[in-house]
A and B are shown apart, each in its own frame.
Chain A
Amino acid sequence: MDLILEYQDQLLAGTWVTIKLALLSLLIAVLFGLVGAWAKLSKNIVAQKIAAAYTAIVRGVPDLVLILLVFFGGQELANSIGTLTGLWEYAEISQFAAGVGTIGIVFGGYMTETFRGAILSIPKGQIEAGVACGMSRMIIFRRVIWPQMVVYALPGFSNNWLVQIKSTALVSVIGLQDVVYNGFVAGRSTRQLFTFMFAVLMIYLVLTAISDSGLRWLDKKYSKGIVRSDDG
């Protein structure tokens, strides 16, 4: 315990990196999820195909493989493009950018499915009613679809977020100094790896517990007036 207190600055700094990483990638995931759900439900066949390929790849390839590919491959790609076009000499993708981008895009794929399901569970009659009232597509989305979609999507969203927080641990593999990396380094230098990895475990547990109760509160707040058939 004393040892952990001695290294608390590193652990806290790492936790902060983890939180930033998780929140920023959540933002990207929601954006990709919205665009993806729109593409999947649109009448445009090209958009549909692209969205289908996107969700299939994300579901089929483990996130760590994609993180490594983006971090190492993206670097190489950026440099080749720079050399070819002569626009820049040397580009560097930071670990943080690679982590945020990849995790955001990966969970964007899961969000796509969540949002798509949520939009589909809005009765079609309501959208037709909106059209009949002369609402534009934008207004129908804002006033009819969005408020209900948020409610229907919340359980799936919560699930995705809880998985996503845990996925951020993987960026320690490319050397980003998140809570796992810092905990590991501290544990190695003090030869107390169990103590430190246990501390990291507890930090994650606290993060998930906080988001769990936060999401539960949100769910209670938003699902007033909605009857769910199951209790899950």
Chain B
Amino acid sequence: MAESIVKFLETWSPIDIVLIAQNFDRFLWGALTTLELTVISLLVGGILSIPLAIIRAGNNKILNAPVWVFTYVFRGTPLLVQTYLIYYGLGQFEWIRETFLWGPVLSQAWYCALIAFSLNTAAYTAELLRGSIVNTSRGEIEAARACGFSRAMRMRRIVLPSAFRRALPAYSNEVIFMLHGSVVASTITIQDLLGVGRWLNGRYYLAYEGFITAAVLYFIIVLAVSRGFRLWEKHWLAHLYPQDAVKTKPKKGLASFRI
């Protein structure tokens, strides 16, 4: 049975499905690398973005200017160029090559991609969070003030929790954007999902198989991520929806998602 299926595919399929199946474990490892790079840079970038967003939302001009320059440069230029600048560019400087960081970190493609991606997503997330912090309703802040909250406490207990929630829909776009952006890693020798696709095509001199497999797997990942975010939004933004809409339409999956 299995043999006849293989035979059928080999003779009739326009693309070499058997070859893809044989190399499928490589694609899964590639997908893992893609996810690893994306998730770690989102974490690092996310942590970096919080203080940056608070500075951008504040009135301190001396701190604001350099952060503005940082976000402007990273949002105004392609991720590919930023990654090249770090991976290929840093080696130009003698003193960087002599630091202890050169061997284990800065000469490694993986870390360079991670640094570029983290800074990039930090810039985008900082601006997105800034918008959300600035738009916190005045009443909430006045109420916190009236209760005697200090500035730091207001930020920690009132502004940030609500700003994070309201930033969620825009942040889901940023996550997908970062996932798309992570293909840049394949241009600096990393075997991510697209890297594996390019390897397969190069090795067997093919035109479709590697790219199509990578495309399908990327599609599945993006689909899963956006579904996940939709559930998350339903949970964390429930207080912003019209009351009865939440009550009368208990969607599947929501109940299991409540903690």
Contact for B187 among A173, A187, A198, A209, CB less than 8 A? A173
B103: min CB distance to chain A, Å: 19
Q: Which of B73, B88, B219 contacts A60 (CB 8 A)?
A: B219
Confirm or deny: A51 has a beta carbon within 8 angstroms of a beta carbon on chain B: no
Of B80, B208, B218, which one neighbours A172 at CB under 8 angstroms? B80
Q: Is the Cβ of B92 less than 8 Å from the Cβ of A63?
A: no
A209/B81 contact (C-beta < 8 A), A62-B180, A65-B194, A192-B92 known? no
How many of chain B's residues have a CB under 8 angstroms from any CB in A? 43
User: Are B78 and A209 neighbours in the complex by a CB distance under 8 Å?
Assistant: no
Task: Return chain B residues, CB-CB under 8 Å to A72.
Answer: 201, 207-208, 211
B222 close to A76 (CB less than 8 A): no
**In the complex, which of the residues B73, B91, B184 contacts A193, with contact meaning CB atoms closer than 8 Å?**
B91
Check if A69 sits within 8 Å of B81, measured CB to CB: no
Instruction: Give the chain B neighbours of A209 by CB distance below 8 A.
Output: 76
Residues in B whose Cβ lies below 8 Å from that of A187: 88-89
**Cβ A61 vs Cβ B218 within 8 A:** yes
CB <8 Å contact, A66 and B78: no
List residues of B (178-203) whose CB comes within 8 Å of A's CBs: 179-184, 186-187, 194, 197-198, 201
Q: Please pick, from B77, B78, B93, B219, the residue contacting A194 in the complex, using a CB distance under 8 A.
A: B93
Q: How far is the CA of A201 from the CA of B76 in the complex (A)?
A: 9
Contact of A197 with B84 in the complex, beta carbons under 8 Å: yes
6 more CB-based (< 8 A) A-B contacts, given A173-B187, A180-B80, A194-B89? A61-B219, A69-B208, A76-B207, A170-B80, A193-B89, A201-B82
Interface string of A59-99 (1 = CB under 8 A from B): 11111111011001101110000000000000000000000
B174 to chain A, nearest CB (A): 12
**Residue of B77, B197, B198 contacting most chain A CB atoms (<10 Å):** B77
In the assembled complex, the Cα of A208 lies from the Cα of B74 at a distance in Å of: 11
CA–CA, A197 and B141, complex, Å: 45
Q: Smallest distance from the beta carbon of B148 to chain A beta carbons, Å?
A: 30
B176 at the interface (CB under 8 A from A): yes
> Any chain B CB within 8 A of the CB of A139?
no
- Contact (A204, B77) CB under 8 Å given A73-B207, A75-B207: yes
Known A-B contacts A59-B176, A169-B80; A65 and B92 likewise in contact (beta carbons under 8 Å): no
Chain A contact residues, CB within 8 Å of chain B: 57, 59-66, 68-69, 72-73, 75-77, 162, 166-170, 172-173, 180, 184, 187, 191-195, 197-198, 200-201, 204-205, 208-209, 230, 232
Partner of A204, one of B78, B183, B212: B78
Residues in chain A near residue B179, CB distance under 8 A: 62
Query: Closest approach, in angstroms, between the C-beta of A227 and any C-beta of chain B?
Result: 17
16 A-B pairs with CB atoms under 8 Å apart are A60-B219, A61-B218, A64-B194, A65-B194, A65-B218, A68-B198, A69-B211, A72-B207, A73-B212, A193-B88, A194-B85, A194-B89, A201-B73, A204-B78, A208-B77, A232-B131
Asked if B79 is an interface residue, CB under 8 A from chain A, the answer is yes
With a CB–CB cut-off of 8 A, which chain B residues contact A193? 84, 88-89, 91-92
Give the chain B neighbours of A62 by CB distance below 8 A.
Answer: 179-183, 194, 218
B177 (CB) vs chain A CBs: closest residue: A163
Cβ–Cβ < 8 Å partners of A195 in chain B:
92
Interface residues of B (CB under 8 A from A): 72-73, 76-82, 84-85, 88-93, 131, 135, 176, 179-184, 186-187, 194, 197-198, 201, 207-208, 211-212, 214-215, 218-219, 222-223, 226
Q: What is the CA–CA distance of A184 and B88 in the complex, to the nearest angstrom?
A: 9
Q: How far is the CA of A168 from the CA of B81 in the complex (A)?
A: 11
> Shortest beta-carbon distance, B55 to chain A, in Å?
19
Q: Are A65 and B84 in touch, CB under 8 angstroms? A: no
Contacts of A73 in B (CB 8 A): 207-208, 211-212
Q: Which of A60, A63, A173, A198 contacts B222 (CB 8 A)?
A: A60
Residue ID in chain A nearest B176 by CB atoms: A59
Q: A69-B212, A69-B215, A194-B85 are in contact. Are A59 and B222 (CB under 8 A)?
A: yes
In the complex, what distance in Å separates the CA atom of A60 from the CA atom of B78? 20
Residues B183 and A65 in contact, CB atoms below 8 Å apart: yes
| A-side contacts of B79, CB under 8 Å | 166
Task: Give A197 to B91 CA distance when docked, in angstroms.
Answer: 12
Distance of A57 Cα from B212 Cα, bound (Å)? 12
* In the complex, residue of chain A having the shortest beta-carbon distance to the beta carbon of B88: A193
Q: Is the CB of B77 within 8 A of A166?
A: yes
Chain A neighbourhood of B215, CB < 8 A: 61, 65-66, 69
Asked whether A166 lies within 8 Å of B218 as measured between CB atoms, the reply is no
